[in-house]
Amino acid sequence: MDGVVQKPTIFMLINNDDLRMVFGKVTFVPHMVPKHEKVVWEDTEWRWQECQWYRSKSGLTFTYYYMYVPNGYQVKRVEIHRPVPIDNDPILTIPDPRGGKLTNTGVYEDAKEVAEVVAKNFAKIYGWKILLIDDVWGIEVYRVMPEKVYVARVGDLVFSQGNLRIYEIEGLPEDEVRSNLMLMYNSEALTVYNHVILSRPSVPVYGQRILRRGQMYIISGANLMMMSQDHGVSGVSLNPNKFYLIFHPSPRIDKD
């Protein structure tokens, strides 16, 4: 309905902050690399790899991403178009030794074939998911780290100011999530379109998305003050032992 902000019905929190939201029947999967560059999982340093495919019009510049997935005695290769957690240290790196484009050498096709064999064999022998990055500058093979998945639902609306909404997040194992999630940052002031959210002390931010359809944040409860030129000043006290979703759709030209 026009003018009505539809409540997000469910979300998935993958690792630190990969937020997937469902608006009615339209599934919207945002892609963004978390702000932190690396975290630790089982004493292994890893980082998020943004897998955004690119190909120039001429086809002379490209970056492709393939995941090799164990499937019984076989290995399935699939295109990957979302961020994935990978080991910081590559299994294999094949650059142009002269520092130029690998595709300008006579060994690119051979290098690609070697990388594909390595990726397939590591997936088959060790049962790992493997990411192969095929780029004009070089080819890299990485182990994909296991993803911890928490599933919850967006609960009651606890605050609103204009089209800014704050929902309680229900169903998350609070202690487990806090121990596994890496805090993105603490903020004393969040700007969400024409709203400024102030917090003293700072509010812990565990996830964020800034998208064409809107902005959203996952926070721990805190005492918040909302300021807006269009809607004035309002305050809300949120339970510090719970998680909350801040959501604001993209504003219309003629209204907030």
Q: CA 225 → CA 33, 68, 160, 228, 240, distances in Å?
A: 28, 48, 12, 10, 15
pTM: 0.52
Residue ranges per structural domain of the chain: 11-30+154-249, 39-144
Q: Residue 256 has what pLDDT? A: 52
Indicate the residue type of 233: V
Burial class for 223, CB neighbours closer than 10 Å (0-12, 13-18, 19+): middle
Q: Residue 35 has what pLDDT? A: 33
> What pLDDT, in 10s, does the model give residues 50-79?
888 999 999 899 999 999 998 878 899 999
The region of weakest confidence among 24-28, 70-74, 160-164, 189-193 is 24-28
Q: Residue 137 has what pLDDT? A: 93
Average of per-residue pLDDT across 239-244: 89
Token pair belonging to 220: 């721990």
Q: Is the pLDDT of residue 110 over 80?
A: yes
